[in-house]
Amino acid sequence: MTAAITAETFAPHVGKAVSLSNGHQLTLVAVDVPKSPHADALRGPGFTLVLRGAPSPIAPEGMYAITFEDGASFDLYVIPVHTPSRDHQDYQVVFN
Q: What CA–CA distance (Å, rounded) separates 85 from 92?
A: 16
What's the rounded Cα separation, in Å, for the pair 36 and 47? 11
| Residue 47 identity | F
The whole model's pTM is what? 0.86
Which pLDDT value is given to residue 36?
A: 65
Distance of CA 84 to the CA centre of its chain: 19
Give the residue extent of every domain in the chain: 1-30+65-96
Residue-by-residue pLDDT tens, the chain, 96 positions: 467 889 999 999 999 999 999 999 999 999 999 876 665 554 567 899 999 999 999 999 999 999 999 899 999 999 999 999 999 999 999 998
In this prediction, residue 38 carries a pLDDT of 60
pLDDT at site 1: 44
